[in-house]
Amino acid sequence: MLHDMSQSLSERVMKLARDLRSEDDPAATAQVVCDTAVAWIGGDVLAGITLVHRRRHIETIAATSEVACRGDELQYELGEGPCLDAAWQAQHVHSRDLASEPRWPTWAPRVAGELDVKSMLCTQMFTNEDTLGALNLYSRSVDAFSDEDQDTSLVVAAHGAVAVAAAQEIESLNLAVDRRTAIGKAIGIVMERFQISDDRAFQLLARLSSHENRKMYDIATELASTGHLPLQHH
C-alpha cells in the first residue's frame, strides 16, 4: 500500500515515540499503536491488538473498528487464526486471500463471509515475560499487504510492545500504591477506634481478611467508605 511520504521514516518514528510516551494507560497506548499502523499503511486497513495474559487469558486491548474486534473475537472463540499464530509462534503471519486460506479452515471462511475481510497481516508483539501479543491488520482487499507493509508493521509493533509494557508496569505500580494507601488509612482508623498500636491494627485486619475470606484491600476500602468493620456485622 502507499504511505504518506510527507515525513521521513525517522520523523514518523520520532512522532510515534512521543505519542506513545504521552500515554500511561495500556489500552490508550495500544490504541495509539493501532491508529499509527492504520495511518502509516493507509488504504482500507483496520487494526487490533491481541494480548495473551499469563499465556491463558486472551483479549483485544484496542482496535480501530468493530470489524477488527469481531475478527479477533472469532479467533478466540474458534481457537484458530493468524493473530493466535503470531502471538504464539511467528514474527509475521500473512494471508493474501482468506477466502482460499487452508490454515484456518473454520475461521477464515467466516471472517471472509461475515466481515468481508479478504486479507490479513499479523505481527508478533512481546510485551513482557507474562504477556504475549500481536498487532492484527485486516483489509477488505485481496493481497493488500506488501513486503514494505510487513516492515512497517514490525516497526510499529516493536515500539508499541515496549510502550504497552511500560504502561502495564505504571498501571501495576499505581494499583500497588492505591492498595497500600487504602490499607494504611484503615490501619489508622482501627488504631484510633480501639486505641491499639499499628502492629495490632494490622494483625486485626489480617485476621478479618482470613475470617471473611476476602482481600485485606477490600476490607480496608469498605472500612474507609462505611466506617464499619465486617466483624461489627456479626
- Note the pLDDT of residue 234: 40
Query: pLDDT higher for 106 or 225?
Result: 106
Task: Kindly list the distances between the CA atom of residue 144 and the CA atoms of 121, 139, 156, in Å, as whole numbers in the listed order.
Answer: 9, 6, 18
Count of other CB atoms within 10 angstroms of residue 15: 12
Evaluate if residue 231 carries a pLDDT over 60.
no
User: Which residue in 153, 93, 165 sits closest to 126, CA to CA?
Assistant: 165
Whether 205 shows a pLDDT value over 70: the answer reads yes
Residue-wise pLDDT tens digits, 41-79: 999 999 999 988 776 789 999 999 999 999 999 999 999
CA distance 98 to 116: 10
DSSP string, 108-156: HHHHHHHH---EEEEEEEEEETTEEEEEEEEESSTT---HHHHHHHHHH
For residue 208, give every residue at least 6 positions away whose Cβ sits within 8 Å of its Cβ, in sequence order, or none.
Answer: 216, 219, 229, 230, 231
Q: Quick one: the chain helix, strand, coil %, rounded to 5?
A: 60, 15, 25
Q: Rounded to whole angstroms, how far apart are CA atoms 120 and 124?
A: 13
Task: Please tell me which of 42-56, 65-79, 84-98, 200-214 the model is most confident about, judged by mean pLDDT.
Answer: 65-79
- Each residue's pLDDT tens digit, 108-123: 999 999 999 999 999 9
| The one-letter amino acid at 215 | K
Picking from 11-15, 28-32, 136-140, 159-163, which range would have the lowest pLDDT averaged per residue? 11-15
The set of cell numbers assigned to 16 is 510515534
Greatest C-alpha distance within the chain: 74
pLDDT, position 73: 95
d(CA 84, CA 134): 8
Q: What local confidence, expressed as pLDDT, does residue 188 receive?
A: 85
Q: Please report which helix (H) or strand (E) contains residue 95, including its range.
A: strand 92-95
What gap in Å lies between CA 66 and CA 39, rounded to an integer?
17
Tell me the per-residue pLDDT of 131-168, one tens digit each, with 9 for 90 and over: 788 999 999 999 999 999 999 999 899 888 888 877 77
Q: How confident is the model at residue 39 (pLDDT cuts 50, 70, 90)?
A: very high
Residue percentage of the chain with pLDDT more than 70: 83
171-175, 190-194, 200-204: least confident range: 171-175
Predicted TM-score of the model (pTM) = 0.69
Average pLDDT of the chain is 84
More confident residue, 214 or 171: 214
**Which domains does the chain carry?**
9-168 (3.30.450.40), 173-228 (1.10.10)
Percent of the chain predicted with pLDDT > 90:
43
Question: How many other CB atoms are there within 10 angstroms of residue 29's CB atom?
Answer: 27
